[in-house]
Structure 1
Amino acid sequence: MFERVVKFGRPLLVLAAWCCGLGAVFAASLGLSSFFAPDYWLSDNMSFFLWQFLYGGIGGTLCAFAGFWFVRSFRGVYRSLVVIAAIATTALAVLTGFRTVENTVPLVASSGDTREIKIVSINLEALFLGDPVLTGYLKEADPDIIVFQETLWNLQKWRWHQRGLPIGGPDTSVYPEHLLVGDLGELVIFSRFPIEDTSSLIIPGVTPPGASVHYNADREILSFSINIEGQTVDLVSVHSDSPRTARRWQNKRAYFDKMDAVIAERLESDATPLIAIGDWNSAPWSARFQRSLEANDLATAYPDGIPQVTRYFFDYRLRWILGSPVDQVAVSKDIDIVDVSLGPHIGSDHRPLLVTLQLPEQAKN
């Protein structure tokens, strides 16, 4: 019985084996394009999905290797296909590994002798600040600084006004007292520490045809300093355009150029520790992201040492299939990273990025 099933099913198994081999080569090639052609819209965007391409390359290669049991015709060609798939997938894995550790620093142990701050960054996707899931998470995480993107501040204020409540709600333990809102109302900061030396830089963007009224091609960079008991730390809140079209990709590249300049100016003017955090709309494997780190001598770290999905499409449960790591933190080399973790699904299409940072001891006076 089994032999009859194999006999009649062999053509389908052979077809599946060839498809797996070809699929592995295709997936690996898409991933490799982000390394070999990083300054083009399509290939640069492939860096968002390197996890998926690795899954496809490894799975396809293994299935194609198993296909040697069934493939009888053109075995030489088939063997070459499997070898190419294996080489391409291995190359993708190696390059991804090197890019992952590039400009990455190991976590340090928490110490009671040095000052630490906890920062959470969340792309709200217009989630109401009074949402019980969001406020519950913030109370549990208990950050010193909250960095929001896609806040729609005027609508947030209107919602609080409609409820007859002060901005932030009646529970003063959720949102710290010091508030900074960007000129576009898109970036919002809550801080336990005084906020000083603020600057909201708007980068004009080009709106593509057919864009929704909700879409704003203009983006802002919100930079400021916080005073932690006499110690000054610079922060840069970022949120570039999502490069889902070639035009928006160009908006993003222009944003990164301005962001690099803002960070460089902050570092050169006062030589204080600096933190850049937010929704970069860039995977850590993007050459442009790494270029920003190198240009400003910044370092980053990932949850458990591995870039993990922070932005997902359609459904949180499908995040490893339809998602990408786009929320990042970068720090100057005088800041140590104690912990990087991701929060749960809170109703947005992003997971919260929670970081604990250790400030330089020499600035503790």
Structure 2
Amino acid sequence: MAWIIIGLLTGLLVLLTLLPLSRHTAWWVRVWDFPRLQLATLAALLIVAALALLDLAHPASWALLGAAATCLAWQAWWILPYTRLWRKEVRWAVEDGRPLRILVANVLETNRRHELLLGLIREHQPDIFVTLESNARWQQQLDRLSDYPHRVACPLENLYGMHVYSRLPLHDAEIAWLVEQDVPSIHTLVELPGGHSVQVHFLHPAPPSPTENDESTERDVELLLVARRIENSHAPIIVTGDLNDVAWSTTTRLFRKISGLLDPRVGRGMFNTFHADHWFLRWPLDHIFHSSHFTLAGIRRLPHIGSDHFPVLVDLRYHPAELDQQGLDADAQDRALAQEKLQQEDATPGEVPAPGRQSRLSIAPGHGQHV
């Protein structure tokens, strides 16, 4: 009986490990990019169970052990960069950098525990914060924060509302609808003390799921549009938001390769933000990527705010000159894959606003406002 149970579970593990190797964009394939830590844990448990319960004199037992061990090694390859066992991609901050503190919070549109988030903002005093899934009710509550005079608001009732609040001046702010007509993104220039400016892109693409998009194409294309737009730029850039994709997925890695941006979590931890209510099903969906102009002073997952996401707080230090920090590099195959995905939606990187390159405020009527 033990052999049958371990054999069936090992077969399932192998299947779920192999599925993401496919380029198929169906949600039921791409969803297995997410639980790599959980699958690695299952593989480890199966190895222990096989060693304890199976007859190791039988070749079939070693076949099961080998399959589970191979799956464990493969899953670990993806997630190990997000542990302290890996080399840090972003340097720890030095004192002479200009501080920039950013808070990212998917608030869950139906969540009415506004004071929990407001309390965290008052406690941690971010320079900029962005809320995802925020509607007019959330905007009414957030507008009470008088310390944040610079704002871009896009209240929606479809789970894709977005608000940016800043102590620092915002320039060339634009709300864009890059791939889907009801899924916005916000692009702006943030003016730091001393006159330096940082280009920031706030994103929240729709996920592949049975209740959203049947495929990951729309999400993938939005990420790659932004990546291609900022590729080869030497300007200080930050991309942040709920990307509805895990840090280690093929798509997010491709985004990092094309854009050249760095991930401050590499070598430090996963900082899983979703699902806030289920400790056994958590992965990193809320991200802050940045150019090599920044070092890291701190990164924290903040307490529960009543949402299905935890907020995340990142302390950066800005340096006018790019530092020698190395992320992921794109090869010819990566660029071909990115182009192939963009062609699926007939999308061009020029559609992505590049604050600082133009001076405009273009918001679709009825969709948003700039305050």
Alignment TM-score, normalising by the size of structure 2: 0.75
CA distances 1:71-121 after superposition (whole Å, capped 9, x unpaired): 49x9332332222222332233234436889x9853433333120100000
Give the structure 1 partner of residue 342 of structure 2.
none
Q: Which moved more, 1:105-114 or 1:80-89?
A: 105-114
The corresponding residue for 2:40 is 54
Q: Which residue of 1 is the match for residue 270 of structure 2?
A: 307
Please list, as runs of the form range in 1=range in 2, the aligned pairs for 1:1-365 lying within 5 A after superposition. Answer: 15-34=1-20, 36-41=21-26, 42-68=28-54, 71=55, 75-97=58-80, 105-126=88-109, 131-152=114-135, 154-157=136-139, 168-169=143-144, 172-173=146-147, 176-182=148-154, 184=156, 186-203=161-178, 205=180, 218-229=182-193, 230-245=195-210, 248-250=213-215, 252-265=216-229, 271-302=234-265, 305-312=268-275, 316=277, 318-319=278-279, 321-362=280-321
Structure-2 change in CA distance of 1:89 and 1:24 (3 Å): farther
**Rg larger for:** 1
Distance in 1 of aligned mates of 2:321 and 2:292: 13
**Cα separation, 1, equivalents of 2:317 and 2:220:** 26
What is the CA deviation profile of residues 22-60 of structure 1, one whole-angstrom value per residue up to 9, with x for unaligned ones? 3144225413432x2244323322111111101111111
Shift of 1:183: 7.4
Q: CA deviation at 1:177?
A: 1.7
Q: How far apart in 1 are the matches of 2:114 and 2:311?
A: 14
| Structure 1 residue 129 displacement after superposition | 8.1
User: 1:6 — aligned with what?
Assistant: none
Identity %: 20
- Hey, what's the Cα distance between the residues in 2 that align with 1:155 and 1:267? 37
Q: Which runs of 5 or more structure 1 residues have no equivalent in the other structure?
A: 1-14, 161-166, 206-216
Normalising by structure 1, we get a TM-score of: 0.76
Aligned-pair CA distance for 1:221: 1.6
3-state SS in 2 of match to 1:361: coil
The answer (yes or no) to whether the contact 2:30–2:208 under 8 Å persists in 1 is no
Cα distance in structure 1, aligned partners of 2:17 and 2:81 = 14
Residue 240 of structure 1 aligns to a residue in which SS? coil
After TM superposition, which residue ranges in structure 1, 4 or more long, deviate above 4 angstroms?
98-101, 127-130
- Tell whether the 8 Å contact from 1:104 to 1:301 is kept in structure 2 after alignment: no
Give the aligned CA root-mean-square deviation in angstroms: 3.0
Preserved contact between residue 299 and residue 330 of structure 1 (Cα < 8 Å): yes
Task: Out of 296-305 and 283-292, give the one that drifted further.
Answer: 296-305
Report the Cα distance in structure 2 between the residues aligned to 1:333 and 1:231, rounded to whole angstroms.
15
1:138-175: per-residue Cα shift (whole Å, max 9, x none)? 122211100111101x2335x55xxxxxx622x635xx
